[in-house]
A and B are shown apart, each in its own frame.
Chain A
Amino acid sequence: MDWHFVFSQALTQAIGPTMLIYAIAAIGLNVQFGYTGLLNFGQAAFAAMGAYGLALAVVAFGLPFGWGILIGFGAAIVMALLLGIPTLRLRADYLAIVTIAAAEIVRRLARATVWSEYTGGSDGMRGFSEPFFELSPYNPDANWSVLFVSMDGGRLIVDLGIVDFQYSSRDLWVMTVGWILVAIFLVVVGLLVHSPWGRVLKGIREDEEAVRSLGKNVFAYKMQALVIGGIIGAAAGFIFALSRANVQPDTFSTDFTFYFYVVLILGGAARLFGPVLGAALFWFLFNLLSLTLNQGIRSDLIPREVLAPTQVGPLVFFLMGLGMVLLLIFRPQGILGNRRELMLDVR
């Protein structure tokens, strides 16, 4: 059983490109759900707006990469407005129903055969990410070594002895941009939620009628929160599409949205750093479990009659689900959450 490998891999993943997708999408969700109480169950569709906006613009319409980014953000804003205008004046559950349905519609439209010559149908699209990787400052042939940090044919290795981190030069570029985005979004969201604007959002989460009675245009604030969270969700979609160099409709399923919720609740909703911590921990645990079980089977510690390699995936999901239930029982406020706040008698 190679524990060094297991922990190195899991930690590498915990701050890697995939974790960044979860972190960014959950930062957007935090604005909507964490601070404003909006039940957006379609965050995957906002990510799809970003990913498909970019891919379609570049591949199907031959537009420059920068235009693809703008179109992706624009599509997310349009979707937020379309979903918000009919629902945000109604009770909170309407938004939940409409977003969950919209996300499914988006996924089905993306995999529809009618326009598959543009969208690629269920196969999705590729060939839009090269302009992005051309911007990369990392040399794919670099070879050097300083203390415990080295580059081996463009592959970064940080060897800390007990564990090591390894990233390809493409991953490094995705991570550089991803972490810069995380930093920007945290600064912006941090400023916003600590402003009087953010105070109104929290008020709406607590009791929107009360906030109305104090002269605030609740609808406008909810719309702004939905749009901001959607824009951040689209950015997660860019990172998703670019890190894999393709987009596929079925990856934007409702499961994806639920992982964002898991990440947010694990880290602590309405806590600025909750999404980042939650994403790191979620993705670390997910990888740790998968790798441990796989290694256990490979080294014959777990007999194959007990657990076949094909059963590892479902078992990991089961264990993650169980962990989530235990978290909600014993630490419902998440890691960074405030228990005192959660235990209040909400009348």
Chain B
Amino acid sequence: MSDSEFEREPEVFREMHQAALAALADVQPEPGVAKPDPILTASGIRRSFGGLVAVDVDHLEVQRGTITALIGPNGAGKTTLFNLLTGFDRPSSGKWDFDGRSAKRLRSYQVARAGMVRTFQLTKALTRMTVMDNMLIAASAQLGERMWAGLIPGLWKAQEAANRERAMELLERFKLIDKREDYAGELSGGQRKLLEMARALMLEPKMVMLDEPMAGVNPALKQTLLEHIKGLREDGMTVLFVEHDMDMVHEIADWVAVMAAGQLITEGTPDQISSDPRVIDAYLGAHHDAAAH
């Protein structure tokens, strides 16, 4: 394991995070506002299903090294936006750059290789494989994954051992080490969420996209997951995650983007967002309007 991401000092990243926060401090809380150092820049992203426009985002930037929360009521288009950005779905129009490179034409697996790794709202553990195999399959650039090389164990054993060691470290960190020889299908829902996050880290991503990582998880585990998400930032990754619970968002997000009915309606720091009437409108919708009249 030669990659720098895991070996750099945490202080370095903490400083980087402080710098990112300082940079965001001057950013106006307006939808589509430009950021000083965006890792992701998306423009004019539109996706419709028949007559329904599920996503229609004019402009969105995600600041490098921060945790950005994507919130919005059910059906707002958050998952669809994730699918588009990660190559799991194709937009009707729009373009976006990831880490300085156009990502529009990339297929889902190429997006992952480029360093943007996602998880799913409905956890996708590989159930009839062991926890360890779930981790190992995620390691990138494995020689043994080429068919011809697979035939010659001598070619890939060393790389496999190194990957296994890294998987052990991650499983230790995510408290799944004792489960490593269990089938992933034997894990609880919360453990599967942990596994999915640990597995994503095997790719050494630059940006992690978490779709409702804390949905359906008990409160104790939620706190653990929260700490892990903070840990990603401390390891220098950028995080974009979908969450409903404003308390959770307050606790870890540096920045919040709000979607409603496919559009990005506002952005800002958690404090700015919780006092923004547009957000309350989006969540309470017509009832709120009716009450106001």
Q: B151–A346 contact, CB under 8 A?
A: no
Once A191-B153, A197-B145, A346-B128 are accepted as A-B contacts, the answer to whether A215 and B109 lie under 8 Å apart by CB is yes
Whether a CB of chain B sits under 8 angstroms from the CB of A347 is yes
- A203 and B126 form a contact (CB under 8 A): yes
Tell me, yes or no, whether B124 is within 8 Å of chain A by CB: yes
Render B160-191 as a binary contact track against A, CB cut-off 8 A, 1 for contact: 10000000000000000000000101100000
Pick the contact of B156: A196, A202, A340 (CB < 8 A). A196
In the assembled complex, the Cα of A210 lies from the Cα of B156 at a distance in Å of: 23
| Proximity bits, A191-232, B CB within 8 Å = 1, else 0 | 110011111101101110111111111100000100010000
Chain A residues within an 8 Å CB radius of B118: 213
Chain B interface size band reads 35 or more
B88 CB within 8 Å of chain A: yes
Does A301 sit within 8 A of B, measured CB to CB? no
Query: Which of B127, B133, B146, B153 has a CB less than 8 Å from the CB of A199?
Result: B133
The reply to whether A214 and B186 form a contact with Cβ atoms under 8 Å apart is no
Name the residue of chain B whose CB is nearest to the CB of A214.
B138
Q: Is B86 positioned at the interface, with any CB of A under 8 Å from its CB?
A: yes
The dominant DSSP class at the A interface is: helix
Instruction: Please report which residues of chain A, range 154-203, place their CB below 8 angstroms from some CB of chain B when the two chains form the complex.
Output: 188, 191-192, 195-200, 202-203
Does B147 sit within 8 A of A, measured CB to CB?
yes
Does A117 belong to the interface (CB within 8 Å)? Answer: no
Return the CB mask of A56-80 against B: 1 if under 8 Å, else 0.
0000000000000000000000000
Q: Tell me if B128 and A212 are in contact (CB < 8 A).
A: no
A345 touches B (CB below 8 Å): yes
Q: A214-B199, A340-B183 are in contact. Are A192 and B147 (CB under 8 A)?
A: yes
Chain A 218-252 interface mask (CB, 8 Å, partner B; 1/0)? 10000010001000000000000000000000000
Q: A212 and B112 in contact (CB under 8 A), knowing A196-B160, A206-B129? A: yes
Most chain A beta carbons < 10 A, residue from B107, B110, B112, B150: B150
Structural contact, A207 and B108, CB atoms closer than 8 A: no
A252: shortest Cβ distance to chain B, in Å? 28
**A135 on the interface (CB 8 Å rule)?**
no
Nearest-CB residue, chain B, relative to A342: B128
Interface string of B131-155 (1 = CB under 8 A from A): 0010011101011111101111100
B171 to chain A, nearest CB (A): 16
Is A341 interfacial (CB-CB < 8 Å)?
yes
Q: B203 contacts A215, CB within 8 Å? A: yes
Min CB distance, A13 to chain B, in Å?
A: 33
Q: Do A344 and B128 touch across chains, with their CB atoms under 8 A apart?
A: yes
Given contacts A196-B156, A203-B137, contact A216 B129 (CB under 8 A): no
Given A206-B126, A213-B86, A213-B118: A341 in contact with B142 (beta carbons within 8 A): no
The distance in angstroms between the C-alpha atoms of A205 and B133, with both chains bound, is: 14
> Once the chains bind, are B153 and A202 in contact (CB under 8 Å)?
no
Nearest residue (CB) in B for A217 is: B109
Answer whether A213 and B120 are a contact pair too, CB < 8 Å, given A218-B109, A346-B128: yes
Which B residues are closer than 8 A to A by beta carbons? 86, 88, 107-110, 112-113, 117-120, 122-129, 133, 136-138, 140, 142-147, 149-153, 156, 160, 183, 185-186, 199-200, 202-203
27 pairs of residues in contact across A and B, judged by CB atoms under 8 Å: A191-B152, A191-B153, A196-B136, A196-B142, A196-B160, A197-B144, A197-B149, A200-B137, A202-B128, A202-B133, A203-B137, A206-B128, A206-B129, A207-B127, A209-B124, A211-B137, A212-B107, A214-B112, A214-B138, A214-B199, A214-B200, A214-B203, A215-B109, A217-B107, A224-B147, A340-B183, A344-B127
